[in-house]
Structure 1
Amino acid sequence: MFEKVNPKHPDKIADCIAGSIVDLAYKEKDNPKIAVEVLIGHGICHVIIETDSKLNKEEIGEAIKRIAGDVIVDIKIVGQDIHLSNNQKEKIRCGDNGIFKGVPVNAEEKKLSLIAREIYSNYPYDGKYILDGDKLIICQSNVPTKILNSIYPKAVINPLGDWTGGFKVDTGATNRKLGSDMGRSVTGGGLHGKDLSKADVSVNIYAHLKAQEENREIELSCAIGDETVDGRPYSEIVEFARNYINSIGGFEEFAKWGLI
């Protein structure tokens, strides 16, 4: 059983906004420290940013409106906690506590991810999907149900009828769709809106990709300040994750679909 949502789901819009702000921080410096929380809905977007980077509120506002459209923007930027900042002064060390389990992606997760992307490529509006064995449930906004019925005749489609969706009728917040982003994997934190020093980003990416490579579950834990994870220098884990993020086009792109 697996649920997938697309990038126009309100929670994913929040993740994408957070990712775009992290991208701005990485344009400003090679190893920024940043954590972003986003709440969006009903015409307003609230953003709280903790960072050591010099970010421009106008650029942030432009990124928000590019992703979310014409919304009222409320931005709060504060400096990073001095103790967290000092943790990273001499070398790259683990920036947070965490537990992580990477799991090989199964056939059901692969199938639904492909279906979600296929629908989104033709209908880029708020949508969410469930696959449970042979049962496919499609909830897709702004598309007549009869059109989707013709494409997926065996699916349960829009059980309550046609709908509009989006953050005009719902709210979105960062890291509320980790099941969609990670499938059966487990994390103690969120994937989005954070720099690579945060284990929630780098160790999750590392555990996930190692699980695919070795076709087995990978269980890891770490504490803030750790210099090694899985027997490797933490700096290597960070570079491993950096290469992955760069390969897919940045943190905003990562936020659209997550790891699956």
Structure 2
Amino acid sequence: MREIQSAEAVCQGHPDKIADQISDAILDELIKKDPYAKTAIETLITTGVIYVSGEISTDSYVDIPNIARNVLIDIGYIKPEYGFDGYTAGVITSINDQSPEISMGIPLGKAGDTSIVVGYATNETKNYMPIACNIANSIVKRIDTLRKEDIVDFFRPDGKAIAVVEYEDGQPKRVDSLTVLVQHEPYVSEKQLKEAIIEEVIKKEVPENLIDDKTKIIINPLGRFIIGGPMADTGLTGRKTIADAYGTAVPSGGSAFSGKDPTKIDRSASYMTRYIAKHIVASGICNKCKIELVYIIGMDYPISIDVKIDNKDIDKENLIKKIEEIFDLSPAGIIENLKLRKPIYKKSSIYGHFGKEDEEFEWEQLNKNILEGLKNV
């Protein structure tokens, strides 16, 4: 049976992703000073201006305008001709204390929000991610690297990639299409740009065996892409939920991640569901696994747990009992076991929140004892 899965990823300089990075950079700085800081930070970016708003509960102080500008400079928004740069951008802040009804009504360790969270893993790749996600993320990461290391000097910070993968009998067969959009300097020709993207990006990052003579490769379909970033489009925290998760492989829980401290269960439990799904697949009892949890604000445990795997020989109810036995699904347990009170969030906000192998992302680390326990389902 033929199936299609797609995934989108964006470069560091995409307006929405800039907003995510600023929100998480502020969160990181707060957590460095106060690991128990509570935040819900939203960033909006438009031509020449950064708006930072939301709720923060902490006695610590951080220089929000300086953090925001440093994010822009680190990304590469350092030239006036981009129409937006870290040296001249204005920063407007509107930060309030957390609602007293919420802060007083939620006991320590209880869920800080009401949400549905979804986690997924598949053994079609070494990092247990859908291959379309890996391809799209590796393309934009490569573009950013080439630009920031000045290997290709005509790339600008904005960009996007979409990978569409065709499956046959549940396994990836071929790349049906690749679409790559890269902002560029005005002097470069379309031919030069396409050659650079094909030779330095696609051929380096996309498995050769998945590309055939029917694969559609589309590069900057409108031709020129000189004006980009916040000069061309408004950016907002949390608008790249599918790019941040698993593409179209599974439904999204619907919540954004960036700017939220780990007591926000829609973020922390999304990491936990990925952790669970990855262990279930890595244990060898199935090829694909989707976990779905439902949390209610103020409660200390999900009111609903569901798991879907592609092995009919495994009893679903027994597997759920094993999940409850092995994994602490309480908000406090998730924070402790995944070590979430650390400044790891800005780094998590680019190239997807899942599939990275960095040691600080505990939700991607496999535990041998857990793997052995799951084999006995």
Q: TM-score if structure 2 supplies the norm length?
A: 0.63
2:291 to 213, 218, 227: 218
Alignment CA distance shift 1:27-1:20 (3 Å): same
Do the aligned residues in 2 keep the contact of 1:208 with 1:259 (CA within 8 Å)?
no
Superposition deviation, residue 200 in structure 1: 1.5
In structure 2, the partner of 1:251 is 345
**What is the CA deviation profile of residues 100-156 of structure 1, one whole-angstrom value per residue up to 9, with x for unaligned ones?**
111112222222222222222112521100111221111011264232244448621
Superposition deviation, residue 92 in structure 1: 1.2
1:200 aligned to 2:261? no
Q: Which runs of 5+ in 1 are unaligned?
A: none
Do the aligned residues in 1 keep the contact of 2:47 with 2:230 (CA within 8 Å)?
yes
Partners in 2 of 1:98 and 1:138 — Cα distance?
33
In structure 2, what residue type is equivalent to 1:142? H
Superposition deviation, residue 185 in structure 1: 4.8
In structure 2, the partner of 1:66 is 70
SS of residue in 2 equivalent to 1:40: strand
1:76 to 94, 107, 112: 94
Superposition deviation, residue 3 in structure 1: 1.0
1:9 aligned to 2:14? yes
SS of residue in 1 equivalent to 2:339: helix
Partners in 2 of 1:43 and 1:28 — Cα distance?
30
Superposition deviation, residue 99 in structure 1: 0.6
Q: Which runs of 5+ in 2 are unaligned?
A: 1-5, 73-85, 122-128, 149-156, 166-174, 204-215, 282-288, 306-323, 355-377
1:158 to 209, 215, 220: 220
Partners in 2 of 1:103 and 1:52 — Cα distance?
32
Aligned Cα root-mean-square deviation (Å): 2.0
In structure 2, the partner of 1:114 is 138
SS of residue in 2 equivalent to 1:131: strand
Structure number with greater CO (CA < 8 Å, separation at least 6) is: 1
Superposition deviation, residue 171 in structure 1: 0.9
SS of residue in 2 equivalent to 1:206: helix
Identity value in percent: 27
Do the aligned residues in 2 keep the contact of 1:206 with 1:240 (CA within 8 Å)?
no
Alignment CA distance shift 1:102-1:185 (3 Å): farther
1:87 aligned to 2:111? no
Do the aligned residues in 1 keep the contact of 2:116 with 2:293 (CA within 8 Å)?
yes
| Segments ≥4 residues shifted beyond 6 Å | none
Alignment CA distance shift 1:20-1:178 (3 Å): same
Do the aligned residues in 2 keep the contact of 1:6 with 1:117 (CA within 8 Å)?
yes
Partners in 1 of 2:242 and 2:37 — Cα distance?
27
For the pair shown, which has the larger CA radius of gyration, 1 or 2? 2
In structure 1, what residue type is equivalent to 2:17? K
**What is the CA deviation profile of residues 71-110 of structure 1, one whole-angstrom value per residue up to 9, with x for unaligned ones?**
1110012111112111344x21100000111111222222
Partners in 2 of 1:257 and 1:120 — Cα distance?
11
1:234 to 295, 317, 331: 331
Superposition deviation, residue 219 in structure 1: 0.8
Do the aligned residues in 2 keep the contact of 1:32 with 1:53 (CA within 8 Å)?
yes
Q: How many residues align?
A: 255
